[in-house]
Structure 1
Amino acid sequence: GETPTTGAGETPALLFLHGNPTWSFYWRHLIQQFRTSNRCVAMDHMGCGLSDKPQFYPYTLAQHIENARALVYKLDLRDIVLCVHDWGGAIGMGLAAQIPDRIKGFVVFNTAAFPSRRMPLSIGLCRLPGFGALAIRGLNAFVRGALARCAKKPLSAEGKAGYLAPYSNWDDRIANLRFVQDIPMGPGHESWETIKEVEAGLAQFKQHPMLLCWGRHDFVFNDHFLHEWQQRFPQAETQYFEQAGHFVVEDARAEIIAAMKKFLAGEKQTYTDEHHSSVNLHA
């Protein structure tokens, strides 16, 4: 796939893994901020963004993890801080379990890396045979729907154009559909064992630095998922954004950049969410 990479140095390498239906464009503001201080690598998953879009390809969680692992070895990335959003969470944590000695920490944005039975009706409908292909590949409903619902603040015309650019026709939208079809909701799904393996690999990172950046208004990865991360990673610091949606980096860019600067510098931050007024995790 296509992999923009910028910056260099002895500081941690930031590896950005996007979800569906975005691409590395989602990380543009963070890369612009950190490219001078850190090596920044933003991977477009196969079928997404500027990567190839083969029509006959195993668009599965296991394959996406393998592609990310191959990239890490090809670029010889070490001291990696994984920055993951949406599908990037399962892909990234699956990757981390395979290369634990290369992982330094995590920045986690509205995502999951463990099985869940929760699925919004709108996404469930897109999994229906025939209808899903028509809606996602024919009408571009998944990308357009995301642009309408996933950012709390209105996206600029340039922002909308950027998200739409790689997905202009039926063939280009192959991965948008395959990602939706690959959501493992039970043991009968081909990616169920993979997500169980990803889940099993999480515990080894309980001592690793982790920053959770969470937008409240997310109809997919709601607060249930945030609390699951917090329970699994009690060492994690949380930045909870009341006025942000699923595209939390779009909605809370300045606050996230400030939080990441402190996190990467090793500074301890305040934990906040709607159930806690202000509690220092490190007290």
Structure 2
Amino acid sequence: MTHTPPAEPEPNISSEFPFELHVIDVLDGKIAYIDTGNSLNDDIGITHIFIHGNPTSSYIWRNIIPHVMPKARCITLDLIGMGSSSKPNISYRFHEHAEYLDKFLEKVVPTGKVILVTHDWGSALGFDWAFNNEHRIAGLVFFEFVRPFPTWEDASQGDIQQAFRSFRVEQTGRKLLIDENAFINKVLVDGIARSLSPLYRWPNEVPIEGVPVDVNERLTKSHDWLLQADIPTLLFWADPGWVIRAEKAQWYLNTLRNAKGIFVGKGYHFLQEDHPHRIGTEILDWSQNI
């Protein structure tokens, strides 16, 4: 099932961050997070866990969570090394991010059903956690998500593909990503349809044509599980999109066993910045009916 977007662009996209950040010790670092529940035993609705991607933070969910929190406990975190979370001396590979996320969730929401709301690398981390904790999952929401890409053409096209190819060349990748901060200055800005008033590891963890091998194997397991699971899923996509274009969105809707799809309109990659109110209201409506 697919829904068409509203005719008019969304108004009142706020830059304000209306939440108080908490901090919790996780492994050898500290994770900053938001929790709209009153306690670990708060049983209002199904807990919604929002997981951001690269190179963002919990800030990106600021206009979406207010639509969901009246009916459900909402939790979102800054992944380790990002946002207000600490920056321990680790390599920041996928398996390390996954371990920090797992330990964080063990502490903050140790029991009960959850709905994961995910984007970009947050989706890959969320699918991995869901694969290992299927009994906890009430539903999955995702868009513009990282998955195993069999070819470069499947991963991206045009200038974005060329940029990611450049990131993987040792001689140029570090200069672009660290010295020139290209992912922030170019990819982040170009990934948002509306205007907006150093990082190295994540762009090179994307599993394209089977590389890196360990990340590709791990993401393939969770992706294969996703395609076979009966869990309710909600997929958003936009036009033209970056990694989830129209034909790929339709493929997922035809393949997933229990999926609802919503087309939000114009957008590239960071749909939270272009269509937060539509996404928030649709998540609430869907989650109240699964």
Is this a same-fold pair by TM over 0.5? yes
Residue in structure 1 matching 2:221, options 197, 201, 210: 197
Contact 1:114/1:198 (<8 A) preserved: no
Residue in structure 2 matching 1:26, options 34, 53, 60: 60
Show the counterpart of 2:134: 100
Q: Distance in 2 between matches of 1:41 and 1:59?
A: 22
Residue by residue over 1:178-232, the C-alpha shift from the partner in whole angstroms, topping out at 9 and shown as x without a partner, is: 0011112234523122122222322452x22211111223233333442342233
Show the counterpart of 1:64: 97
Task: List gaps (5 residues or longer) in structure 2.
Answer: 1-30
The SS at the match of 1:65 is helix
Show the counterpart of 2:74: 40
Q: Distance in 2 between matches of 1:123 and 1:203?
A: 27
TM score, norm. by length of structure 1: 0.80
Q: Distance in 2 between matches of 1:228 and 1:67?
A: 32
TM score, norm. by length of structure 2: 0.78
The SS at the match of 1:201 is helix
Q: 123-132 vs 187-196, which deviates more?
A: 187-196
**Aligned-partner residue type, residue 106 of structure 2:** Y
Residue in structure 2 matching 1:137, options 170, 178, 192: 178
TM-fit CA distance, 1:38: 1.6
Higher relative contact order (CA 8 A, sep 6+): 2
TM-fit CA distance, 1:258: 2.2
Show the counterpart of 2:28: none
Q: Distance in 1 between matches of 2:149 and 2:211?
A: 13
Show the counterpart of 2:281: 258
Residue in structure 2 matching 1:3, options 33, 36, 50: 33
Q: Distance in 2 between matches of 1:133 and 1:52?
A: 22
The SS at the match of 2:64 is helix
TM-fit CA distance, 1:146: 3.0
Q: Distance in 2 between matches of 1:145 and 1:208?
A: 36
Q: Distance in 2 between matches of 1:87 and 1:37?
A: 27
Show the counterpart of 1:240: 263
TM-fit CA distance, 1:95: 0.5
TM-fit CA distance, 1:16: 0.8
Q: Distance in 2 between matches of 1:25 and 1:39?
A: 17
Q: Distance in 2 between matches of 1:232 and 1:51?
A: 37
Show the counterpart of 1:271: none
Q: Distance in 2 between matches of 1:199 and 1:261?
A: 25
Change (3 A) 1:251 1:187: closer
TM-fit CA distance, 1:255: 1.6
Q: 92-101 vs 130-139, which deviates more?
A: 130-139
Q: Distance in 1 between matches of 2:53 and 2:281?
A: 23
Residue in structure 2 matching 1:124, options 165, 169, 181: 165
Q: Is 2:257 the counterpart of 1:223? A: no
Aligned alpha-carbon RMSD (Å): 2.0
Change (3 A) 1:102 1:188: same
Contact 1:17/1:24 (<8 A) preserved: yes
Show the counterpart of 2:26: none
**Aligned-partner residue type, residue 108 of structure 1:** F
The SS at the match of 1:89 is helix
Q: Distance in 2 between matches of 1:116 and 1:77?
A: 36
Show the counterpart of 2:204: 181
Q: Distance in 2 between matches of 1:53 and 1:225?
A: 35
Q: Distance in 2 between matches of 1:188 and 1:247?
A: 24
TM-fit CA distance, 1:10: 2.9
Q: Distance in 2 between matches of 1:238 and 1:188?
A: 30
Show the counterpart of 1:270: none
Runs ≥4 residues deviating over 6 A: none
Show the counterpart of 1:279: none
TM-fit CA distance, 1:47: 1.6
Q: Distance in 2 between matches of 1:248 and 1:46?
A: 22
Q: Distance in 2 between matches of 1:130 and 1:77?
A: 47
